[in-house]
Amino acid sequence: MGKLIAANWKEHPKTEAEAFALFKAVARTPRPSGVTVLVCSPFIYLEEIAREWKRMPPKERERLVLGAQDVFWEDQGAYTSEVGPAMLRSIGAKYVIIGHSERRKFAKETDAMINKKIALALRDGLKVILCVGEALSVREKGVDVAKKFVAQQLLKDLKDISIKAGDLYIAYEPIWAIGTGRSDKPEDAREMAMFIKSSLKKSKKISPKFLYGGSVNGKNAADYVQLREIDGALVGGASLKAEEFKKIINAM
């Protein structure tokens, strides 16, 4: 697969009607050759969106896939409100985002929790998008310090996990760039991509795909994805605007 453009809707939109309208707009957008579009909706909409996806003609489903924004570390049990990876697979989801900085901050997710989620998600056949990234206070000390911070996240999050080629994406989202309109410099994102790929090739004997996230929009998307080391983007706010997200897809 070439480039992956992942839409992370977060806690949006407010109604089912809006969610379907947004999904249909994304589905109608032509996908350039070699580009796969991933839609990660809130759990409450995912099952119905999956049904809508399955009703689409095969040609329209090409390179359009579904995913979730989170998952639990057990397939089933007395875990009120949680959703396991087997449940996600059963409705047609193929990807899951794990370790997003907003989950780490607001849900108090630890690296140990993220590690358990990744292990089970991979075992159950989901492709994992692991989010890593540093806060502004770290980045202000320099790119090398940011690299060390990210390296520690990877070490803890992927501890003792065996990974098959193609099953892991690393989404680098510098926290200071998420939703702020301030994106990382493409050359710095490229340097981080090279560092992450090199580190995991050495430690885990794998070459993960690399996604950049953090205020990606129709104007700057091409600056990142045109770089050979960057395999796509994880898009937040801009993925909620059909025309803006269309520009990002076309930028591929």
Compute the mean pLDDT over every residue in the chain, rounded to the nearest whole number.
95
pLDDT in tens, 44-100: 999 999 999 999 999 888 899 999 999 999 999 999 999 999 999 999 999 999 999
pLDDT exceeds 70 at position 189: yes
Range with the poorest average pLDDT among 3-12, 113-122, 173-182: 173-182
Residue range 209-252, pLDDT digits in tens: 999 998 899 999 999 999 999 999 999 999 999 999 999 999 88
100 is catalytic: yes
Residue corresponding to tokens 């340097």: 191
Choice among 102, 109, 134, 173 that is catalytic: 173
229 in active site: no
CB 117, CB 72: distance < 8 Å: yes
Domain ranges for the chain: 3-250
Q: Active-site residue among 47, 60, 100, 109?
A: 100
Helices (H) and strands (E) in the chain, counts: 11, 8
238 vs 244: CA distance, rounded Å: 6
Among 33, 32, 89, residue whose Cα is nearest residue 66: 89
Q: What is the largest CA-CA distance in the chain?
A: 51
pTM of the model: 0.96
pLDDT of residue 1: 56
pLDDT at 60: 85
Region 7-16: what's the mean pLDDT? 98
CATH 3.50.50.60 assigned to 3-250: no
